Structure 1
Amino acid sequence: MASYTLKEINDILEGELIGDTDQSIEGPEEIQKAGSNHITFIGNTKYVKFWAASKACAALIDLNLDMEPGHNRALIKVKNVDLAMAEILALFNPPTPVFETDIHPTAVVHASAEIGDGCKIGANCYVGKDVVLGKDVILYPNVCVFDDSLIGEGTIVWSGTVIRERCIVGSYCIFHTNVSIGADGFGYRPSDDGKGLVKIPQIGNVIIGHYVEIGANSCVDRAKFSSTIVGDGCKIDNLVQIAHNSIMGRSCIMAGHSGLAGSVTLGDGVMIGGSASIKDHTTIHSGATVGAGSGVMNNVEAGKTVLGYPAQDARDMLKQWAAVRQLVKSKKADA
């Protein structure tokens, strides 16, 4: 088990140290669950009241908080508690599963595939014809990478993920369990006789940038033609749908259960809240935010925050909700 002294922790964080403790620090924990060998975190005044009763020997706190550490306890003041806690979590991060062989004997790797130095391919994986894996790619058990796909160096693909043919994945990406990359886009039209549906062929691919992370059970569909694109640094939560021909700029965030319909365009740094839905052929410009549960029907200006269903300027939507609540109160008072 990893263990650090308070000084070692603060040397890494370069924070302002208040108080001291002789306890070794064996991990981070929530303030109300922490034991005597834990470090916790207090990012705002809401959690200050829990410090006195907490058993934690140390806490990361915001620079603006005025607190006393107490006996044999310490506080480390930092500019950004969340980022500092990320550094602490990295210190105590357990090792990943071990590969006893670089390529498991049950893996099927086509003779034409190019496998870079340091790659690990787990049990029951499939690597198809003319696939290229850059160096240090990790495919955990039961991953499928189909023909003519390319995966950049250092990318990690967890079990159950399927990367369909002709897709391009950048370097240092992380795909969690059961991600689908490059499945057919959802394209159907009524048949001429009106008795059925005609499937529209989806002949494009998916292009994923560098440093992209995609959560479990999320789907990025291939384009009808050209490419569905996820830009560098995008972070996608679990159970997210990205439909055919959508284009995401750099460093976008999509929270769980949100979805882009076909041919949606996101600028750089767009944030999509959980369960939000974006109508096809709309554009959300750079720096915009879509609130959780919203339904975007029209283009969103750069830097704007929208909310509601249908989504509109967040301030206007909040005023409407407040007016409705006031109306309900008035009706009850009159009854």
Structure 2
Amino acid sequence: MKSYSILEINEVLQGIILGDTQQNITAPEQLEVASNTEISFIGNKKYEKLWATSNACVAIVNEDISIEPGENRAFIKVKNADLAMSQILELFAFPMPEFDSEIHPSATIDITATISTGVKVGAGCYVGPKVVIGKNSIIYPNTTILDGTTIGENTVIWSGTVVRERCHIGNNCIIHPNATIGADGFGFRPCPERGLVKIPQIGNVIIGNNVEIGANSCVDRGKFSSTVIGDGCKIDNLVQIGHNSKLGRFCIMAGNSGLAGSVTLGNGVMIGGSASIKDHTTIGDGAIVGAGSGVTGDIPAGKTMLGYPAVEARDALKQWAILKRLVNDSKK
């Protein structure tokens, strides 16, 4: 079991220690359930009240903390407690699952594939013709990577993922279990003689560097060219990204949200959980779409939208307040 003194913890954080504790710290934990050997954090002043009943021996806190740590307890003051806590989680993180050999004997790797140095490929994987996998990438068991795909360096692809043909994934990416990259886009047209005719999807998917895609999410290939996920985007579990959509850099999409085909997101766009975006919509840099919202038209940069259909946040809040008053009045 890992354990650290408060001084060793602070060597990582470079914060300011308030109070003192001789307790060795064995794990991070949330305030309400932490034991007296565990470290927690207070990332918002509204949680300060929980410190009095918490058993944690140390808390990472913001510089504006207004309470004292108490006897045999300590705070480590930092500029951003949330970011500092991520450093602590890395410190206590368990090692990644181990490989007995770099390439498992049961993996099927085409003779024309290029496997760079330090790559690990787990049991039951399939790596197709002319695939290129960059240095130190890890492909966990039962992953499928089809013809002509390229994967950059230091990328991790977890079990059950399918990366279809001719897709490109950058460096330092994480693709979580059972994600599908490059499935056919949803393209059909009615035909009097044949019913619904499938429209071939001949494009691919291009994923930039430092992208994370959650479990069971789908990024469909382009109909003509490419569906593009920009550098640094973070995609939650159960997210759908339709064909020919293009995400700028550092976009966030929360769980169960979805983009229809040919949606364009600028840089730094945030899409809340279960939000849905209509096809051929453009959302400008830094815009925010609230959870459960339905976007039916373009959104200018920097706007926050709420509701179904989505309108500017302040207008949505006014509408909800009026509806609430009407409901209350009807009960009188």
What TM-score do you get using the length of structure 1 for normalisation? 0.98
Whole-angstrom distance in 1 between the partners of 2:3 and 2:265: 43
1:248 partner amino acid = L
Q: Which residue of 2 aligns with 1:85?
A: 85
After TM superposition, give the deviation of residue 122 of structure 1 in Å.
0.2
2:66 is aligned to 66
**C-alpha distance in 2, partners of 1:17/1:239?**
41
Name the CA distance, whole Å, in 2 between partners of 1:220 and 1:101: 31
Structure 1 distance, partners of 2:106, 2:118, is 18
Question: Are 2:128 and 1:111 aligned?
Answer: no
State the 1:7 CA deviation: 0.7
Question: Is 1:275 aligned to 2:262, yes or no?
Answer: no
Distance 1:42 1:137 in 2: 36
Per the alignment, residue 4 of structure 2 pairs with: 4
Q: CA deviation at 1:45?
A: 2.5
- Measured after TM superposition, the shift of residue 211 of structure 1 is 0.4
Summarize the alignment of residues 74-153 of structure 1 with structure 2, pairs less than 5 Å apart: 74-153=74-153
TM-score computed with the length of structure 2 as normaliser = 0.99
For residues 105-164 of structure 1, the C-alpha deviation after alignment (integer angstroms, 9 at most, x for no partner) is 000000000000000000000000000001111000000000000000110000000000
2:305 partner SS: strand
Q: Shift of the alpha carbon at 1:274?
A: 0.1
1:61 CA drift (Å): 1.2
Measured in 1, the distance between the counterparts of 2:177 and 2:154 equals 17
Match of 1:183 in 2: 183
Instruction: Name the structure 1 match of 2:160.
Output: 160
Distance 1:48 1:212 in 2: 34
| Range that drifts further, 18-27 or 59-68 | 59-68
Q: What is the DSSP-based 3-state SS (H/G/I as helix, E as strand, rest coil) of the residue aligned with 1:330? A: helix
Q: 1:245 is paired with a residue of what secondary structure?
A: coil
Tell me which amino acid in the other structure corresponds to 1:219.
C
The C-alpha deviation readout for 1:181-212, integer Å capped at 9, x for no partner, is: 0000000000133x511000000000000000
CA displacement at 1:66 relative to structure 2: 1.0
What SS class does the counterpart of residue 198 from structure 1 fall into? Answer: strand
The CA RMSD over aligned residues, in Å, is 0.7
Flag structure 1 segments of 5+ consecutive residues without an equivalent: none
Question: How far has the Cα of 1:82 moved from its partner?
Answer: 0.5
Structure 2 counterparts to residues 307-318 of structure 1, below 5 A: 307-318=306-317
Give the structure 2 partner of residue 299 of structure 1. 298
Counterpart in the other structure of 1:202: 201
1:167 Cα shift?
Answer: 0.4
CA deviation after TM superposition for structure 1 residue 222, in Å: 0.4
What is the CA–CA distance in structure 1 between the aligned matches of 2:246 and 2:187, rounded to whole Å? 17
> For structure 2, which runs of at least 5 residues remain unmatched after alignment?
none
Match of 2:228? 229
- Deviation string 1:276-317 (CA, Å, 9 cap, x unpaired) is 000000000110000000000000000000000000100000
Q: Give the match's secondary structure for 1:75.
A: strand
Cα distance in 1, alignment partners of residues 47 and 259 from structure 2: 36
Residue 230 of structure 1, CA deviation: 0.3
Percentage of identical aligned residues: 63
